[in-house]
Amino acid sequence: MKFLDQAKVFVKSGNGGAGCVSFRREAYVEFGGPDGGDGGKGGDVWAEAVEGLNTLIDYRYKQHFKASTGTHGMGKDRTGAGGDDSVLHVPIGTQILDEERDEVLADLTEVGQRVLLARGGDGGKGNARFKSSTNRAPRKSTPGWPGEERWLWLRLKLIADVGLVGLPNAGKSTFLSAVSRANPKIAAYPFTTLYPNLGVVDLGPGSRFIVADIPGLIEGAHEGAGIGDRFLGHIERCASLIHLIDGTQEDPVAAYRTVRTELDAYGGGLIDKREIIAFNKTDAMTNEEARDRAKSLEDALGQPIRLMSGVSGDGIKRLCSEAWDMVQAQRGDERQAEAQAASDDMDEDEAGGGWTPS
C-alpha cells in the first residue's frame, strides 16, 4: 500500500428538507385545517479515527464527500426523515486543517474520536407551524436551510513510541526489519526510504512498543534539501528517539550534529525528546576499531554510545531493552502529568465552592 500523509478533501453537509403545505381533508370529518409537516435535517459530515489504517491513500482517489439532503415534510403532520451522515474514516494521529493550512481544527489521537466537519442544514417549517387564531389556513412554508461546504486538509502524523533518525544509509531500515516484522526497502544507496515505516517490537508479554523509521535527513533538509523536512512532523508524535550513526563513515560527530541541527531548525520540541545514540554497522570493522571510534564519539558528545549491528544482530537486544525502559519512563511521565492535571481541576472546583442546596 502506498503511503500518503497529506490529502485535500471537499466536504458538504446535506441541505434541510423543505416544509410542506397541506390541509386535512377526510370524509365525514367536519374539521380540517393545515397539517403540513416540517422537513428533515440534512446529514452531517464527520471525521472519525479508526484502527487498522496508517495512511491517507483512500483520499487520493476520492476527494468529495457529501451528506444526504433531509426528506421533505409531508401531510398529516409528518416530519421528513433526517439525511444520512457522511463519515470520513482516518488513521489515528490525523489532523484536520483549514484550506489555507493556517489553523488546526482538530487532532484525532484516539480510536473512536470524532469531529464534526460540516453541520447539516435544518429542515424547513410546514404550514401547520404558521397556524394561528387569525390565520386559520396558512399557505406558507419555508425551504430547508442549505448545508455547509468547505475544503479541508488531512495531515497524518504517525503515532509511535520510538522514532529512528539519522543520515541516509545509517541503517535505520535494516534495524527496523531486525527488531520487528516490518519489511522496509533496504538498498546500498541513499534515500532508500522515501516514506515512514512502522514496526512493532515485542520483547515479551506486556513489553511491546511501536518504532517509526523516518526517511534520512541531510544538511539543509529544513530548507528543502533532499526529501526536506516533510516527514519530521511524524517525529513530533514519537515519545523518544533512537539516533543511528553509521560507524563506517569518516566523521561520525559531524553526522550526529547535522541531524541534531535539522531537528532543532524544525522546532516542535524534537530537540528535547529523550534520545539513545547507537553506533551502527560494527560488523564492518574489528571490535577494537569499533570501540575506539565509539569512544571518540562518546568523548566528543559527552553522552553514552551503544554499539550495535543491524546486519549481525549484535547489541540489538540490549538496545531494544534500553529503548523499552525509555518508553516506560515516558509513559510514566505522561500518567503523572494527567494525574496532576486532574488534581488541579479538582482543586479549582473546590476553590469555586461548587453547587450547594439553598
Q: What is the largest CA-CA distance in the chain?
A: 108
Contact 229, 197 (CB under 8 A): no
Contact 221, 165 (CB under 8 A): no
HEC string for 262-322: HHHHHCCCHHHCEEEEEEECHHHCCHHHHHHHHHHHHHHHCCCCEECCCCCCCCHHHHHHH
Where residue 226 falls among pLDDT bands split at 50, 70, 90? low
331 to each of 31, 239, 264, 276, 335, how far by Cα in Å?
71, 8, 24, 17, 6
The domains of the chain are located at 1-25+33-129+140-156, 162-336
Residues 6+ apart with CB under 8 A from 250: none
Summarised one tens digit per residue, pLDDT across range 120-135 is: 999 999 999 999 989 9
Give the per-residue pLDDT at 273.
Answer: 86
Bigger pLDDT: 193 vs 104: 104
Contact 199, 180 (CB under 8 A): yes
Rounded CA-CA distance 310/178 in Å is 6
- Does pTM surpass 0.85? no
Residues 6+ apart with CB under 8 A from 232: 214, 217, 221, 262, 263, 266, 268, 270
The number of angstroms, rounded, from the C-alpha of 159 to the middle of its chain's C-alpha atoms is: 7
Domain 162-336 part of CATH 3.40.50.970 = no
Mean pLDDT of 300-319: 88
The number of angstroms, rounded, from the C-alpha of 256 to the middle of its chain's C-alpha atoms is: 29
Bigger pLDDT: 59 vs 224: 59
Summarised one tens digit per residue, pLDDT across range 142-191 is: 999 999 999 999 988 877 788 888 888 888 888 888 888 766 555 554 55
Rounded CA-CA distance 310/283 in Å is 9
* Whether the predicted pLDDT of 74 surpasses 60: yes
Closest CA to 121 of 177, 57, 242, 38: 38
* Whether the predicted pLDDT of 223 surpasses 70: no
The grid cell for 142 is 419555508
Summarised one tens digit per residue, pLDDT across range 317-332 is: 888 888 888 888 877 7
Closest CA to 259 of 273, 243, 242, 277: 243
| CATH code for residues 1-25+33-129+140-156 | 2.70.210.12
Q: What DSSP element (H or E) covers 90?
A: strand 86-91
Give the residue carrying C-alpha cell 574489528.
Answer: 286
